[in-house]
């Protein structure tokens, strides 16, 4: 059993599978505390960053690096760097990251491979955009903000009318 838990992540049907020890706090309706290995791509890295140390350093801005695709160090495969990283399933996955390089900061786009249920709205794994609860939360915030804004605009209009009545406008 220990070999299975510590020997992974594993591959199954073209996907990476991470296995973790079950705990009594586990909830099938929550992703809290769960992690998963996923492949990330970093297209068009500057040549100065094209080594194992720098590729792993940039990948660590997304998750914990597990493997670097060895094929990426062949000259014919220099279009992107691929790294398998372990990410927390309840965390937001960045679509790009700021990288401190030898010639200054640069913005690096991050692409994710084979994530079947990734929401590009809230950037979380576990559901698609059409099922995202972020809209419901935003609608609640927007409606309360709208009410406050309407009250403020009514106050501003009332104040302007007062000034007009007194000849200030």
Give the residue extent of every domain in the chain: 2-130, 133-169
d(Cα 125, Cα 115) in Å, to the nearest integer? 8
Q: What percent of the chain has pLDDT over 90?
A: 20
Q: Which residues pair with 40 in a beta bridge?
A: 83, 112
Do residues 21 and 5 lie in contact, with contact meaning Cβ atoms separated by under 8 Å? yes
pLDDT in tens, 118-167: 777 887 777 778 888 876 655 554 555 555 445 544 454 444 444 344 44
Residue ranges of alpha helices (H) inside the chain are 2-7, 52-59, 134-165
User: Among residues 118, 100, 108, 96, which one has the least CA distance to residue 38?
Assistant: 118
Please tell me the distance from the alpha carbon of residue 62 to that of residue 128, in angstroms, as a whole number.
Answer: 20
For strand 35-43 and strand 15-17, is the pairing parallel, antiparallel, or unpaired?
unpaired
pLDDT tier at 14, thresholds 50, 70, 90: low
Return the pLDDT at 161: 41
Q: How confident is the model over 74-105, as pLDDT tens digits?
A: 656 668 899 999 988 778 889 999 998 778 89
């Amino acid at each position: 059993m220990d070999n299975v838990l510590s020997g992974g992540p594993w591959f199954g049907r073209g996907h990476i599978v991470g296995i973790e020890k079950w705990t009594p706090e586990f909830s099938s309706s929550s992703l809290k505390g769960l992690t998963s290995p996923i492949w990330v791509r970093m297209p068009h890295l500057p040549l100065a960053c094209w080594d194992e140390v720098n590729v792993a350093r940039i990948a660590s801005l997304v998750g914990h690096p597990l493997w670097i695709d060895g094929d990426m160090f062949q000259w014919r495969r220099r279009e992107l760097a691929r790294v398998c990283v372990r990410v927390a399933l309840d965390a937001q996955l960045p679509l790009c990251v700021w990288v401190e390089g030898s010639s200054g900061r640069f913005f690096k786009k991050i692409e994710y491979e084979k994530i079947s249920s990734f929401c590009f709205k809230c950037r979380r794994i576990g559901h698609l955009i059409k099922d995202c609860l972020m809209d419901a939360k935003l609608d609640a915030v927007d409606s309360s903000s709208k009410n406050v804004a309407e009250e403020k605009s009514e106050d501003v209009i009332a104040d302007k009318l007062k000034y007009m009545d007194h000849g200030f406008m």
